[in-house]
Amino acid sequence: MSAPDVLGRDYLEVRNLTVEFDGFKAVDGVDLTLLQGRLHFLIGPNGAGKTTVVDALTGLVPATGMARYRDHDLLTSKSHQIVRAGIGRTFQTATVFERLSVLQNLDIAGGIHRKAWRMPFARRATPDYVEHALETIGLADQRDRPAGVLAHGQKQWLEIGMLLVQDAKVMFLDETVAGMSHEERDATGELLRRIGSERTTVVIEHDMDFVRNFADVVTVMHAGKVLAEGTLAEIQSDERVQDVYLGRAATAMEGIA
C-alpha cells in the first residue's frame, strides 16, 4: 500500500498555500489536511478566500506553498492533469449544458477517461458507470430531459454526477446547496454521505443548519487565513470565530455564536 496516513486513509495535504492578486493576499498561508471519508466544510464570510483555495488546488490560479494528493504536486500541475489525478470541483454558477440531456451531460463528463477510439462504441449503450451515476444522483427518470429544464437542486445533483463519472476521488463543492429548498438540502447531504465514504469531500457552505447536520470537520476562513478548525461545537466556542461572525456577518452565522 502506498503512503497513506496513519489511519490508512487517502488524503490531500495543503501547506502554507498562498495566492496573491497584485500584492493582495487572497489566500495567506493556509494549511489543510483533507481526509478521505469525511465531509469537510469550509466556511467563512464572503471574500474570505474559500473559492480561491479551490481555484489554486485545481490549477486555475497560480499559488505558492505545497499541495499534494497521492503522487501529484497540485501546484505545478495543469488543470486537466489535476482532473485526471481524480480531483473535481463544481463552480458557484452551474456549468451543465442546458440543451443537452442529463445523459449526454454525464456522457460528456465521463469522456475525459475514455480513449478517443472507443467513443463510437460507447455511444451504442449507456456505459455502466453513467448508469450507476444516474441512479446515485436520483435522476434516472430524468435521463432524457434537457438539463435546462431540471429544477435547481437537480442541476446541482447533475453536477455532482458529472464528478462521479469523472471518477473524482476528491470533490470540491462550491456553494452547491445555495438556493436549494430544505428538502433538496437534506437530499444533497444524504447524497454526500453516500458517496463520501470512499472520497474526500470539501463543501463550501453558508447555511449553518446544513453544516450542523452534515459536517464532520469545519474549517473557518477569514481574510485569507484559517481562523479555526474542528467540530462544529469546537468552532462555535472559539472566540475569534464569534468575533468575525458577530462583527461582519452575524446573520450568516445565526445560531452559531
Please identify, using beta-carbon distances, which residue of 26 and 87 lies nearer to ligand ADP: 26
Quick note: the x/- pattern for ligand ADP over 27-46, rule CB under 6 A, is -----------------x-x
Among 12, 14, 17, 26, binds ligand ADP (CB under 6 A): 26
**Could you tell which of Mg ion, ligand ADP, none binds residue 52, using a CB distance below 5 to 8 A set by kind?**
ligand ADP
Asked if 253 is part of the footprint of ligand ADP (rule: CB under 6 A), the reply reads no
Q: How many residues bind ligand ADP (CB under 6 A)?
A: 10
Please identify, using beta-carbon distances, which residue of 106 and 173 lies nearer to Mg ion: 173
**Could you tell which of Mg ion, ligand ADP, none binds residue 121, using a CB distance below 5 to 8 A set by kind?**
none
Residues binding Mg ion (CB under 5 A): 51
Please identify, using beta-carbon distances, which residue of 2 and 93 lies nearer to ligand ADP: 93
CB of 19 to ligand ADP, least distance (A): 8
128-138 burial: b if 16+ Cβ within 10 Å, else e: eebeebbebbe
Asked if 51 is part of the footprint of ligand ADP (rule: CB under 6 A), the reply reads yes
Of the candidate spans 49-57, 121-129, 177-185, 235-243, the one that interacts with ligand ADP by CB under 6 A turns out to be 49-57
Asked if 14 is part of the footprint of ligand ADP (rule: CB under 6 A), the reply reads no
CB of 209 to ligand ADP, least distance (A): 20
Asked if 21 is part of the footprint of ligand ADP (rule: CB under 6 A), the reply reads yes
Contact 9, 35 (CB under 8 A): yes
CB of 138 to ligand ADP, least distance (A): 28
Distance CA 250, CA 179 (A): 19
DSSP for the chain, written as a single string: -----TTS--EEEEEEEEEEETTEEEEEEEEEEEETT-EEEEE-STTSSHHHHHHHHTTSS--EEEEEETTEEGGGS-HHHHHHTTEEE--SS----TTSBHHHHHHHHHGGGS-GGGHHHHTTS--HHHHHHHHHTT-GGGTTSBGGGS-HHHHHHHHHHHHHHTT-SEEEEESTTTT--HHHHHHHHHHHHHHHTTSEEEEE---HHHHHHH-SEEEEEETTEEEEEE-HHHHHT-HHHHHHHHHH-TTTTTTT-
Please identify, using beta-carbon distances, which residue of 165 and 204 lies nearer to Mg ion: 204
**Contacting positions for ligand ADP (CB under 6 A):** 21, 26, 44, 46-52
